[in-house]
Amino acid sequence: MRILLLFLVSFFVFDKAKAIHALPDSTTTDTSTFKTPTDNHHCYRYIFMQSGISLPAKTLYYHNFNFFMNDFQYGITNNLNVSAGVVLPLYFYVSPKYSVDVENNQRLLIGDIAITSAFLKEPHKAKMNVLYAGYSFGDDYDHFTVCMGYFTANFSPDASLMYNIGGSKKLTPTVYLIGELWFNQGNQKIANVSQWELDENGNKQLVDPSNPLASPYKTTTNNKIVNRTTLFANIQLRLISNKNDTKSWSFGLAYYSNFGGEYDVQNSDGSMQHLTNYFSFPVPSISFTQKIGKVEPKLRF
């Protein structure tokens, strides 16, 4: 975990800010020869997180993460982008973002991420939303973005703050180090936690008081509110194709952890379990991206 954080902190250190390079109008390349890329066609995304650099108007960008998340990002204008995708098999999301240049290599951005489950029914249906604002610094090659968001979810009784940072560092013309970190702390509802029914003196009640040796205890289920911390970190090496620099593959490591919020489960046989609500899941991280180029849908109303 310390290694992931160390890499992410390294995104904040640059030798000097480089001049911003405008992307060409066309993203086609001559595939008959190998050329060293001179532009970074992948500066608009870290992994899941959008960067502060806006995708040009009427340009389409595709991203796949670990083969189960498929995402398209589109430039409505030079400042307004919208990203939408599916996380197989249950979730889909939409994420508009507006960014504006305020100084050389500096941008302010505001956006929203809305996530919902496609096929789950209540009470298992998940709904989450993050309304965020952030700051981005750097050119198309070396840049970082920091954001703070207002997080709400149907499994959380209270709203909480979401923090995330992302960055990109050019190592060679075709190799970039990219990463992002998401952090949230708040309350979470644990549904249907078994608890003993107590009498007025605080003693456990028997289902059959006439048979105290064999009777189980009365239990009921309640919802518990616990405080938990969620952390998601992802770091990758992005390898850009020499043959067609609008395509890239990225390889690395993702880490998800949910921890905190201790509670007790009380059973009808009189036993009790003390749970910590801890979950940790490291997994290899693979991404594919492609800048598709100019797409101008002709809509009739």
CATH of the domain at 186: 2.40.160.40
* pLDDT at residue 27 greater than cutoff 60: no
The domain in which residue 289 lies consists of 2-14+44-294
Residue 87 within any structural domain of the chain: yes
- Torsion angle, alpha carbons of 188, 194, 199, 200, to 10: 0
Which pLDDT tens digit goes with each residue over 181-201?
999 999 888 888 999 999 888
Query: How far is it, in rounded angstroms, from Cα 217 to Cα 210?
Result: 13
Average pLDDT value over all residues in the chain: 86
Residue 23 within any structural domain of the chain: no
Query: How far is it, in rounded angstroms, from Cα 79 to Cα 181?
Result: 24
State the pTM of this model.
Answer: 0.77
Q: How many CA atoms lie within 13 A of 272 on its CB side?
A: 7
Residues 130-154, mean pLDDT to the nearest whole number: 97
Residue 209 within any structural domain of the chain: yes
Among 62, 147, 71, CA closest to 109 = 147
150 backbone dihedrals φ, ψ, rounded to 5°: -105, 110
What is the per-residue pLDDT for 119?
Answer: 77
Percent with pLDDT over 90 in the chain? 64
Stretch (H or E) spanning 2: helix 2-10
Neighbours of 177 (CB within 10 A): 20
What pLDDT band is residue 38 in, cutting at 50, 70 and 90? confident
What is the per-residue pLDDT for 4?
Answer: 41
How many helices and strands in the chain, by DSSP H and E? Answer: 1, 14
* Cβ-Cβ contacts under 8 Å for 301 (sequence gap 6 or more): none
Which pLDDT tens digit goes with each residue over 62-97?
999 999 999 999 999 999 999 999 988 789 999 999
**Angle 121-116-224 (CA atoms, 0-180°, nearest 5)?**
65
8 A C-beta contact, residue 132 and residue 110: yes
The token pair at 218 is 């009365």
* pLDDT at residue 32 greater than cutoff 80: no
Residue 29 within any structural domain of the chain: no
Residue 26 within any structural domain of the chain: no
- Quote the number of domains for the chain: 1
Residues 107-122, mean pLDDT to the nearest whole number: 90
What is the per-residue pLDDT for 23?
Answer: 38
Residue 301 within any structural domain of the chain: no
Residue 299 within any structural domain of the chain: no
Residue 261 within any structural domain of the chain: yes
What pLDDT band is residue 232 in, cutting at 50, 70 and 90? very high
Give the chain's end-to-end CA distance (angstroms, integer). 52
The token pair at 42 is 């992948």
Query: How far is it, in rounded angstroms, from Cα 61 to Cα 106?
Result: 23
